[in-house]
């Protein structure tokens, strides 16, 4: 039996060993989930919400113990856990409690009286069935539970896989799930790393919700394409902050500290590149360096920045720093690494060939670049392969909004940073190499359903005008129908030239006018001659 040992990123001690799920267990989980999905989908949205309703209170009352468990696995500071791992879930649950029924309600649509006389039409949202949620290590609790709960509310069963670095969080999630009033077999946790994730995809869940790096996302999509299974990909970013000279400077400096260094920069929407208008560049960099020097590393309730949770990430941060310095970057200080703690560094004198400008760093390094011209800086930002999020800082919010609307990103904020991505009503997701598909908000809840469209005909005719047999008359009638409906000249002229051919349809309901009305139309048309 394979096992995975999970070590504390704080002191390297063994936290716990986990048995990797066998292929038989994963296959069995899919079968059980598929059976349970049927029962669950039959419940109303209100009933589903009632079944999970105690979770909100649990997250509040057990906040300390949940926080401690997340701190032990990730090495985050406690406030970071409450803000980033717990609070967004509470906002989401409250929003869906009040709105999910409406969001997922059947939608009636009007039908053309000519094409579908007296018919009724609607569309409705059908849960996919079994949703596989695959999540990363940086916010292992929130980034698993947010899609998991959204998919549940939408009526699906779930198989989830947390990162191999975060297995105790998978266990914690299963403990919380066990306290909910859910049908047996509705939620399953599979334990493992990349092979387990790949095997899970090959078992053909009905939807894959993947959050992780770009390279893994491409592999997930390639495997999913073999079946095919639809995928939503929430991938990495290289987020930008753009500061104009008229910005509120102290607020912008403090925001940079938070945007670039919260969770030690291990946030998909971390600010990794900061563009500052040339006229304030030097003084702004001075202020940034002073502010960065005041930040403290620590864990638990001490410090602002926790550890770098993954050893591979630590090595990448070091290589980005060394590459930039070797190519002429200036830095606020040396890259100070103590165990897994890394103190934040501001870098400037940046050139395009530096890796730190091309690749996601996912650590506490921030590059600062001056700009003169608005159009040039927008063009430069849009050259990035990533397109997750951006923030624009100016007291002229109309100008900032104009700039925001030209950026190729899935999310933006003006005069705020990161917090916007937790807004429960705003759909969240990326473009370009940052992925596609949305969760959060109304659109995000519907992402866990496919749309089914329905039409109810009221016709009692044995034949519809578009059915066989075809003839020259049917062709001329169809031409006349298109000309009457879609040409742009006056309706009377359209009717006048097409009426003879349109009479082909008179036996059908759309033109089943009484003889009296037909005669009336003919008289009017003759008068128009
Ligand atoms: P990762 O891509 O290495 O792993 C993510 C998950 O995929 C893990 O559970 C992993 O075990 C699994 N996995 C690996 N190979 C797989 C395969 N072949 N098939 C199926 N599953 C497989 O990512 P990570 O290092 O855990 O997380 C960091 C990355 O996640 C960063 O790039 C970050 O930007 C990104 N991220 C994106 C968002 C977002 O919402 N856009 C949020 C957080 C993190």
Q: What is the pLDDT of residues 119-157, one digit of tens each?
A: 999 999 999 999 999 999 999 999 999 999 999 999 999
pTM: 0.95
Beta strands in 255-336 (DSSP E): 271-277, 330-331
Determine if ligand 1 sits within 6 Å of the CB of residue 163. yes
Average pLDDT over residues 296-324: 94
Which of 139, 161, 208, 213 has most ligand 1 atoms within 8 Å of CB, for mutation? 213
pLDDT of amino acid 460: 82
Determine if ligand 1 sits within 6 Å of the CB of residue 521. no
Exposed, middle or buried, 423 (CB in 10 Å: 0-12/13-18/19+)? middle
Residue listed under structure tokens 């598929």: 34
Which of 166, 212, 269 has most ligand 1 atoms within 8 Å of CB, for mutation? 212
Average pLDDT over residues 426-450: 98
SS3 call for 491: helix
What is the residue with the minimal CA distance to atom 12 of ligand 1? 194
Output the CA 21–ligand 1 centroid distance in Å.
Answer: 19
Q: Please determine, looking at this structure, whether the domain spanning 239-433 carries the CATH number 3.40.309.10.
A: yes
pLDDT band of residue 509 (cuts 50, 70, 90) is low
* pLDDT above 50 for 261: yes
* pLDDT above 60 for 378: yes
268 is catalytic: yes
Output the CA 468–ligand 1 centroid distance in Å.
Answer: 54
Cα 372 to chain centroid, rounded: 33
Across the chain, which distance is largest between two alpha carbons, in Å? 96
Q: State percent of the chain over pLDDT 70.
A: 96
Determine if ligand 1 sits within 6 Å of the CB of residue 161. yes
Determine if ligand 1 sits within 6 Å of the CB of residue 342. no
pLDDT band of residue 300 (cuts 50, 70, 90) is confident
The CA-atom distances, in angstroms, between 263 and each of 70, 78, 86, 238, 363 are: 13, 10, 14, 15, 9
Which of 147, 216, 431, 434 has most ligand 1 atoms within 8 Å of CB, for mutation? 216
* pLDDT above 90 for 215: yes
Q: Share the mean pLDDT of the chain.
A: 95
CA-to-CA distance for 152 and 47, rounded, in angstroms?
11
Tens-place pLDDT, residues 316-365: 999 999 999 999 999 999 999 999 999 999 999 999 999 999 999 999 99
Fold of 41-235+443-452: Aldehyde Dehydrogenase; Chain A, domain 1 (3.40.605)
* pLDDT above 90 for 255: yes
Tens-place pLDDT, residues 49-58: 999 999 999 9
Output the CA 519–ligand 1 centroid distance in Å.
Answer: 71
pLDDT of amino acid 514: 56
Q: State percent of the chain over pLDDT 90.
A: 90
28 is catalytic: no
Q: Annotate 145-185 with DSSP letters as a single string.
A: HHHHHHHHHTT-EEEEE--TT-HHHHHHHHHHHHTS---TT
pLDDT of amino acid 508: 75
Output the CA 135–ligand 1 centroid distance in Å.
Answer: 6
Determine if ligand 1 sits within 6 Å of the CB of residue 74. no
Determine if ligand 1 sits within 6 Å of the CB of residue 143. yes
pLDDT of amino acid 505: 87
* pLDDT above 70 for 515: no
pLDDT band of residue 507 (cuts 50, 70, 90) is confident
Determine if ligand 1 sits within 6 Å of the CB of residue 216. yes
pLDDT of amino acid 527: 65
Index of the ligand 1 atom closest to the CA of residue 161: 9
Average pLDDT over residues 39-56: 98
pLDDT of amino acid 512: 52
Q: Give 5's strand partners.
A: 17
pLDDT of amino acid 520: 66
Determine if ligand 1 sits within 6 Å of the CB of residue 433. no
Domain ranges (residues) in the chain: 41-235+443-452, 239-433, 461-528
pLDDT band of residue 247 (cuts 50, 70, 90) is very high
What is the residue with the minimal CA distance to atom 23 of ligand 1? 212
Tens-place pLDDT, residues 80-126: 999 999 999 999 999 999 999 999 999 999 988 778 888 999 999 99
Output the CA 136–ligand 1 centroid distance in Å.
Answer: 4
pLDDT of amino acid 510: 47
SS3 call for 422: helix
């Amino acid at each position: 039996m394979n096992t995975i040992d999970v070590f504390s990123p704080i002191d390297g001690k063994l936290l716990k060993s986990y048995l990797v799920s066998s292929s038989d267990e994963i296959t069995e989980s899919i079968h059980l989930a598929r059976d349970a999905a049927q029962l669950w989908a039959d419940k109303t949205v209100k009933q589903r919400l009632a079944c999970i309703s105690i979770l909100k209170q649990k997250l509040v009352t057990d906040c300390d113990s949940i926080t401690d468990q997340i701190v032990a696995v990730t090495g985050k500071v406690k406030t970071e856990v409450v803000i980033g791992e717990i609070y967004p879930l509470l906002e989401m649950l409250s929003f869906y409690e009040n709105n999910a029924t409406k969001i997922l309600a059947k939608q009636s649509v009007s039908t053309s009286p000519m094409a579908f006389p007296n018919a009724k039409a609607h569309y409705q949202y059908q849960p996919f069935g079994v949703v596989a949620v695959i999540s990363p290590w940086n916010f292992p609790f929130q980034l698993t539970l947010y899609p998991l709960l959204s998919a549940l509310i939408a009526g699906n069963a779930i198989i989830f896989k947390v990162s191999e670095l975060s297995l105790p969080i998978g266990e914690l999630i299963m403990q919380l799930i066990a306290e909910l009033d859910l049908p047996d077999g509705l939620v399953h946790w599979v334990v493992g790393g990349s092979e387990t994730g790949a095997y899970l995809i090959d078992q053909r869940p009905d939807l894959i919700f993947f959050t992780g790096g770009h390279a893994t996302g491409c592999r997930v999509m390639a495997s999913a394409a073999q079946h095919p299974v639809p995928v939503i990909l929430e991938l990495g970013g290289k987020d930008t902050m753009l500061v104009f000279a008229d910005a509120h400077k102290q607020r912008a400096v403090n925001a940079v500290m938070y945007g670039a260094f919260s969770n030690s920069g291990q946030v998909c929407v971390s600010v990794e590149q900061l563009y500052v208008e040339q006229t304030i560049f030097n003084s702004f960099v001075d202020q940034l360096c002073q502010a960065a020097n005041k930040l403290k590393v620590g864990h638990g309730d001490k410090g602002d920045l926790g550890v770098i949770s993954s050893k591979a990430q630590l090595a990448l941060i070091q290589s980005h720093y060394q590459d930039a310095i070797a190519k002429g970057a200036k830095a606020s200080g040396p890259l100070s690494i103590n165990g897994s703690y890394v103190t934040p560094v501001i870098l400037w004198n940046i050139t395009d060939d530096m890796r730190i400008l091309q690749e996601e760093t996912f650590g506490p390094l921030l590059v600062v670049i001056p700009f003169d011209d608005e159009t040039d800086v927008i063009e430069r930002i849009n050259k990035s392969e990533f397109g997750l999020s951006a923030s624009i800082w100016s007291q002229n919010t109309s100008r900032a909004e104009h700039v925001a609307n030209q950026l190729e990103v899935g999310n933006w904020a003006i005069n705020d940073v990161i917090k916007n991505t937790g807004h429960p009503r705003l759909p969240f997701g990326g473009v370009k190499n940052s992925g596609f598909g949305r969760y959060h908000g109304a659109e995000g809840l519907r992402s866990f359903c496919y749309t089914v469209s329905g039409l109810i005909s009221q016709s009692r005719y044995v034949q519809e005008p578009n059915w066989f047999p075809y003839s020259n008359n049917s062709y001329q009638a169809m031409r006349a129908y298109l000309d009457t409906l879609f040409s742009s000249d006056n309706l009377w002229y359209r009717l006048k030239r097409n009426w003879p051919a349109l009479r082909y349809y008179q036996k059908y309901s759309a033109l089943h006018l009484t003889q009296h009305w037909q005669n009336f139309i003919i008289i009017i048309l003759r008068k128009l001659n």
